[in-house]
Structure 1
Amino acid sequence: MNPQFDPSQLPLRDIHLPEAVAWWPPAFGWWILAALVVVIGIVLGVRAWLQRRHRAARRALKDILSALEGGAEPAECVSDASIVLRRFAMTINGRSADVAGLAGEAWLEYLAEKTRDPEFATGSAQLLLDAPYRAAENVTMEQAQRVCRVCVDWINTQPARA
């Protein structure tokens, strides 16, 4: 007494599926993520750009140390280290500072004021002043190596600036 039920006889429409979600425009969270990635990329790029001067100066001083260990003249290596240090100081301070005109004790005072290392006031960094004028045999390899290491330490203590 139960008649057979046939669903095809019902007045129903076919199932209607919604359209696929479009990929554009992205949701708000994706915009935030994209902005964050861009900001991080810019910060890292600027930081790398500012650090390039430090890397170049350190590389130049390492080349001087390698030349010194290879048998180069110690007085000439100290003179080269002084040139690298002065160029680096002029680069990080820009044209406004009068670093290029500093000489003698004023140069060492400037270096000492930019770091806490006492080497520039009383130590082996005094050799930066008179090594180019000394006889080549009066500057030992150990003194020249110490001056180069002090210069590398000074460069490492300087903040990266635009």
Structure 2
Amino acid sequence: MNPNFDPTQMPLRDIHLPDAVSWWPIAFGWWVLASIVVICSIIFVIRFYICRHRRVACREIQKSIDAINVGQDPVLCAQEVSTIMRRFAMTVNKQPQTVAGLVGEEWLSYLDELWEQKEFINDEGRRLLSAPYKVTGTLDLEEFLKMASVCISWIKAQPVRI
């Protein structure tokens, strides 16, 4: 190297580092991910809102079961369960007036049509017709619990309609 050489006398510019990569605008993949998260959140909120009737009906039947443990008469609780089932069926049906007029075997057949199982035509579900009209103190606790279990299973089996 030349001892008389002075690098500061050369017409060179200083080394400049490139600007830091900014966060904005974000890459296409992040837009896709954000879109998926928003769409999934909207679907979750809509399904949560639509399923509220199912949750409320199951909660009310569970309250009737809990009331029996406190000492309430199973016949009164069976009346409540029957009312809850009718209200729920009217809520999920697009034509509630058709459900409101169903009684007896037609009511049980309607409930079985909306379910793969035939529990309401059988003994367990048939109690839904007779239990609310029994004399106070004549309904067995086990009978009520089986009927309530069938009703809760039916409610949970109903599809979500968006």
User: TM-score, normalised to structure 1's length?
Assistant: 0.89
Residue 2 of structure 1: how far off its partner (Å): 4.0
Map Cα deviations across residues 12-69 of structure 1 (whole Å, 9 max, x no partner). Answer: 1122333333433222222111111111111211222222222111111111001112
Distance 2:16 2:97 in 1: 75
Residue 92 of structure 1: how far off its partner (Å): 1.4
Q: Which residue of 2 aligns with 1:104?
A: 104
Gaps of 5+ in 2: none
Q: 1:121 to 1:4 in 2, by over 3 A?
A: same
Residue 82 of structure 1: how far off its partner (Å): 0.7
User: Are 1:114 and 2:114 matched, yes or no?
Assistant: yes
Q: Which residue of 1 aligns with 2:139?
A: 139
Gaps of 5+ in 1: none
Contact preservation (8 Å) 2:82, 2:132: no
Distance 1:52 1:32 in 2: 30
Moved more, 49-58 or 19-28: 19-28
The 5-angstrom pairing of residues 9-158 of structure 1 reads: 9-95=9-95, 98-158=98-158
Which secondary structure state, in structure 2, belongs to the residue aligned with residue 160 of structure 1?
coil
| Alignment coverage as a number of residue pairs | 162
User: TM-score, normalised to structure 2's length?
Assistant: 0.89
Which secondary structure state, in structure 2, belongs to the residue aligned with residue 12 of structure 1?
coil
Distance 2:106 2:2 in 1: 112
Distance 2:37 2:98 in 1: 40
Distance 1:87 1:5 in 2: 98
Contact preservation (8 Å) 2:125, 2:150: yes
Residue 4 of structure 1: how far off its partner (Å): 3.9
Moved more, 96-105 or 39-48: 96-105
Which secondary structure state, in structure 2, belongs to the residue aligned with residue 13 of structure 1?
coil
Give the superposed CA RMSD.
2.0
- Identical-pair percentage: 45
